[in-house]
Amino acid sequence: MNALLEPDEQLETIRVRGNGPLEGTVHVPGAKNSVLKLMATTILCDGAFELSNVPDIADVAIMGDLLAAIGVEMTRPGPGELVLVNTGKITPVAPYELVERIRASINVLGPLLTRCGEVRLSMPGGDDFGARPIDMHIAGLEAMGAEFKFSHGYLEARADRLHGADITFDFPSVGATENLMTAAVLADGVTTIDNAAREPEITDLCEFLVSMGAKIDGIGTPTLVIEGVEQSTLRPVRHQTVPDRIQAATYLAACSVAGGRLDIVGARADHMTMLLDRFANMGLDLTPTDTGIVVASDERPRSIDVATLPYPGIATDYKPLIITMLAVADGVGIVTENLYPGRFRYVEELQRLGADVRTSGHHAVIRGVPRLSGAPVKAHDIRAGAAMVVAGLAAEGETTISGIHHIDRGYDDLVGRLQAVGADIERD
Ligand code: UD1
């Protein structure tokens, strides 16, 4: 159970009935996986930050509560806007009740440590898809001079002032790249991060930091070079959050299984190159435009094989959507998960809808069936929950999805947006 939600919210469901083609325009809001990191980074300097294109999602509210406990006050002056005021009175403690609710709470570690010289952080939570260690975050910060201690569920770190270091990752971790980068901004000297993650959300964070006065080279490449600056040289800024490529992919998947034509405004084709290539192979007609992507589909998807990889590969967060498309595709597809071995929990739910999916280790074999059959299913995490909604669009009869507080963590009015393009969907 999600402790901070009222019991009624836990019981809410989404009902969806497959009713044929979707038609119209969908606006894609800013990315959860960027805005939460931008918010955490406001710890670095005093003053009022303004963020736009902010999704209206539960995780933003939770991060806002965490930042309020630390000393950054959040207000929402209008739709899609956030103002974050860093009061300068920063408490470098991230309490359990808030940290355990979102994985991105780990992103306060680097900023708090580099700004305050100490931090006490409860171990992070987030989606339930297997162990998510933070050893790379810790090893990198240790290389920069931090000392860590773990006691009573809390991670404690100290460093008078972090110093620059040459760090090479075994694996391009998104969170570790972000934490080390934000820490390095105020470190003494130059930090080089090799094999850094280069997701569009990382680039967004780099651009945010540079506009604040940070010195970062190699943005968008696997080698980031950060030259530390004095705290007094940083300034608060206005920034527009990068669009959410996972939400954009959700509407592409919806159009693929339901058919029709959608103008997905805000989607950045250049952030989704490999996925769009795969979706074209599956039969989607895709046209990048000045404002987004137009997608059309008038046939059953075709099966393909897909493996998840760090960016620019196919993101693991797309995978539940891809498996759902393959569940109703013509042929057999194999999906290989290379990031999170345990991330197949939703397959049991798809099987309840009549999908023919078998998993073994980190592979899934999907034999497409012409149509799924509506049934009650559960959302186990954000992306799996959205995939259940897409599956409902591909099913005959009614699909009822419970556990939708997971969907609310990352999707900004998924139901309303799908209703507006003709889907038979409602929230009860
Ligand atoms: C972020 C995204 C998540 C996405 C993931 C991969 C946020 C809030 N979440 O998660 O939606 O699925 O990127 O694109 O932005 N690992 C270690 N040690 C570490 C760090 C990571 O072993 O110190 C492992 C993880 O357990 C996992 C893999 O590396 O198997 C990927 O993790 P990482 O890239 O760090 O993902 P997150 O930042 O947690």
Q: Which residues line ligand 1 (CB under 6 A)?
A: 33, 103-104, 132-137, 171, 173-176, 315-317, 339-340
Residue 103 has a pLDDT of 82
Residue 1 has a pLDDT of 37
- Residues 6 or more apart in contact with residue 283 via CB below 8 angstroms: 256, 297, 299, 300, 301, 302
Residue of the CA atom closest to atom 35 of ligand 1: 173
The answer to whether 372 and 394 are in contact (CB under 8 A) is: yes
Query: Measured in angstroms, how far is the CA atom of residue 371 from the centroid of ligand 1?
Result: 34
Residue 125 has a pLDDT of 57
Tell me: pLDDT of 10 over 80: no
Q: Is the peptide bond before 312 cis (omega within 30 degrees of 0)?
A: yes
Residue 47, both tokens: 């003053």
Residue 376, both tokens: 């009650």
Sheet containing 14-17: give its strands across.
376-378, 398-402, 14-17, 424-427
Residue 153 has a pLDDT of 83
SS3 content of the chain, % helix, strand, coil (to 5): 35, 30, 35
Q: CA end-to-end span of the chain, whole Å?
A: 19
Residue of the CA atom closest to atom 29 of ligand 1: 173
Query: Measured in angstroms, how far is the CA atom of residue 174 from the centroid of ligand 1?
Result: 6
- Give per-residue pLDDT as tens, 332-390: 999 999 988 767 889 999 999 999 999 999 999 999 999 999 999 999 999 999 999 99
- Give per-residue pLDDT as tens, 79-138: 999 999 999 999 999 988 888 888 889 999 999 999 999 999 987 655 554 556 899 999
Q: Give the active site residues.
A: 127
* Residue 177 pLDDT grade (very low, low, confident, very high; cuts 50, 70, 90): very high
Any idea which residue has 């708090």 for tokens?
112
Substitution candidate for ligand 1 out of 174, 181, 321, 383 with most atoms within 8 A of CB = 174
Residue 398, both tokens: 């009614």
Residue positions counted in the chain: 428
Residue 102 has a pLDDT of 85
Residue 98 has a pLDDT of 86
Q: What is the pTM of this model?
A: 0.95
Residue of the CA atom closest to atom 25 of ligand 1: 132
Query: Measured in angstroms, how far is the CA atom of residue 202 from the centroid of ligand 1?
Result: 13
The C-alpha atoms of residue 126 and residue 264 are separated, in whole angstroms, by 28
Burial of 379 (0-12, 13-18, 19+ CB in 10 A): buried
Dihedral class, residue 392 (left if φ above 0, else alpha if ψ from -120 to 50, else beta): alpha
Residue 397, both tokens: 């009869």
Tell me: pLDDT of 421 over 60: yes
Q: Is the dihedral of CA 66, 69, 75, 81 positive or negative?
A: negative
Residue 288, both tokens: 């990048």
Query: Measured in angstroms, how far is the CA atom of residue 263 from the centroid of ligand 1?
Result: 31
* Residue 3 pLDDT grade (very low, low, confident, very high; cuts 50, 70, 90): very low
The C-alpha atoms of residue 403 and residue 356 are separated, in whole angstroms, by 23
- Give per-residue pLDDT as tens, 178-207: 999 999 999 999 999 999 999 999 999 999
The C-alpha atoms of residue 221 and residue 219 are separated, in whole angstroms, by 6
- Residues 6 or more apart in contact with residue 375 via CB below 8 angstroms: 352, 353, 395, 399, 400
Chain center to CA of 422: 26
Ligand 1 atom nearest the C-alpha of 139 is: 23
Closest by alpha carbon to 160, among 219, 117, 128?
A: 117
Closest by alpha carbon to 372, among 339, 336, 324?
A: 324
Ligand 1 atom nearest the C-alpha of 132 is: 26
Closest by alpha carbon to 115, among 64, 48, 182, 193?
A: 182
H helix or E strand, kind and range, residue 58: helix 58-70
Extract the annotated binding site for phosphoenolpyruvate. 32-33
Domains along the chain with CATH numbers? 7-29+243-427 (3.65.10.10), 32-240 (3.65.10.10)
Q: Is the peptide bond before 243 cis (omega within 30 degrees of 0)?
A: no
Residue of the CA atom closest to atom 16 of ligand 1: 133
The C-alpha atoms of residue 112 and residue 44 are separated, in whole angstroms, by 7
Ligand 1 atom nearest the C-alpha of 177 is: 35
The C-alpha atoms of residue 251 and residue 258 are separated, in whole angstroms, by 10
Mean pLDDT, to the nearest integer, of 133-160? 93
Query: Measured in angstroms, how far is the CA atom of residue 198 from the centroid of ligand 1?
Result: 13
Q: SS3 of 131, please?
A: coil
Ligand 1 atom nearest the C-alpha of 173 is: 34
Residue of the CA atom closest to atom 2 of ligand 1: 33
Query: Measured in angstroms, how far is the CA atom of residue 133 from the centroid of ligand 1?
Result: 8
Q: What is the 3-state secondary structure (H, E, C) of 219-262?
A: CCCCEEEEECCCHHHCCCCEEECCECHHHHHHHHHHHHHHCEEE
User: Which residue type occupies 67?
Assistant: L
User: Which residue type occupies 121?
Assistant: L
Extract the annotated binding site. 32-33, 103, 317, 339
CA distances in angstroms from 73 to 66, 69, 101, listed in the order given: 10, 9, 19
Burial of 8 (0-12, 13-18, 19+ CB in 10 A): exposed
Residue of the CA atom closest to atom 33 of ligand 1: 173
* Residue 9 pLDDT grade (very low, low, confident, very high; cuts 50, 70, 90): low
Ligand 1 atom nearest the C-alpha of 201 is: 15
- Give per-residue pLDDT as tens, 278-330: 999 999 999 999 999 999 999 999 999 999 999 999 999 999 999 999 999 99
Lowest model confidence (mean pLDDT) among 154-158, 183-187, 270-274, 389-393? 154-158
Alpha helices in 187-339 (DSSP H): 200-212, 245-258, 273-281, 319-327
